[in-house]
Structures are given as C-alpha cells and as structure tokens.
C-alpha cells in the first residue's frame, strides 16, 4: 500500500480506537439511550459510521458497490459493546482492502454519488469519510457524558 493510504488507514484506525474508548464499559441500555428527541443513540451512531465509511471509502472512492441501507443504520439498537467493536473491526478490514485497490492517481478520479447525483473526486470522498467519522466520534463522546450525568441522578 502506498504511504498516503497507509497514513490514511492509521488515522481512520485511530478514530476507531477513540470510538472504542468512548463506548468502553457501557451497557446495552446506555448504548441505546438518546439524550433528546430526534437525536441518535451511540449504537446507531457507530452503526452509521461503519455504513458511511463503507459508502465513502468503498462505493465512492474504490468503486466497490455495496447495498447500503442508510435509514436502517439509525434504527440500530439492542447491540452490546462487543457487537459495536466488531462493526468497527469489520470497517477497518474493509477500508484496508479498499485502500489497497487505490493508487494516488485514483484520487483525482471523479465519482458520482447515487444518493445525491453530485460529483466528487475519490480523494474528496476519502477525506469526507475521515471528517464524518470524527464528527460522529464527538457526538458519541458527548452522548456518553450526558448518559453518565443522567445516570448519576439515579
């Protein structure tokens, strides 16, 4: 794998480790809890992260089609910490495989999103996947903090 893609994979894996730290020790009830109406649970966010990475890294950048059900990602629940860790491990494995299929020249190649019919470069899609995961990591960390504050009152 070329150095850029090795570095990319290291950054993605670091975000996944931070997610694993944020979900560490949480019960299924905590993982399914939402802090307010129209917010997402940690389980839904982790499931969505894995699906979004598969889409942006796989479908868009590496052109490895996958039948993603985005709406189902937000309905995810009843998962324990081990199941969520497994989803992140599978996302790591898939991303590594997809990145191994790319070259630096591929980064300039245009890709059309089937969801929005917008055009992006493969490089943009990869950067967006990192950005998206980092944003949702913050949501997970904040949701955990709110859960812990809520639980202290019990």
At 53, which CATH number? 1.20.120.450
* Distance, CA of 95 to CA of 141 (rounded, Å): 23
pLDDT at 79: 96
User: In this model, does residue 127 exceed pLDDT 80?
Assistant: yes
Q: 47, exposed or middle or buried, with CB in 10 Å at 0-12, 13-18, 19+?
A: buried
pLDDT score of 115 more than 90:
no
- The total of structural domains in the chain comes to 1
* pLDDT tens by residue, 8-66: 999 999 999 999 999 999 999 999 999 999 999 999 999 999 999 999 999 999 999 88
* Cβ contact 126:12 at 8 Å: no
Q: What average pLDDT does the chain have?
A: 95
The answer on pLDDT for 153 being more than 70 is no
Length of the chain equals 154
Residue 111, SS3 per DSSP: strand
How far is residue 73 CA from its own chain's centroid? Answer: 11
Token representation of residue 111: 């890709």
Can you tell me the mean pLDDT for 97-103? 97
- Find the domain containing 96 and state its range: 3-152
Confidence bin at 135 (pLDDT 50/70/90): very high
> Has residue 128 got a pLDDT over 70?
yes
**Do the beta carbons of residue 67 and residue 137 sit within 8 Å?**
no
């Amino acid at each position: 794998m070329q150095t850029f893609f090795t570095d990319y994979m290291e950054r993605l894996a670091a975000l996944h480790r931070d997610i694993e730290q944020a979900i560490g020790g949480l019960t299924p009830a905590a993982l399914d809890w939402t802090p307010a109406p129209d917010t997402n649970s940690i389980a839904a966010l982790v499931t969505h992260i894995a699906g979004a990475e598969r889409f942006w890294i796989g479908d868009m950048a590496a052109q490895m089609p996958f039948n993603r059900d985005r709406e189902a990602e937000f309905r995810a629940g009843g998962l324990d910490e081990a199941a969520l860790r497994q989803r992140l491990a599978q996302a790591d494995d898939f991303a590594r495989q997809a990145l191994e299929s790319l070259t630096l020249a591929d980064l300039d190649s245009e890709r059309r999103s089937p969801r929005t019919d917008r055009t992006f470069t493969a490089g943009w899609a990869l950067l967006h996947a990192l950005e998206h995961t980092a944003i949702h990591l913050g949501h997970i960390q904040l949701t955990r903090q709110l859960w812990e504050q809520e639980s202290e009152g019990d």
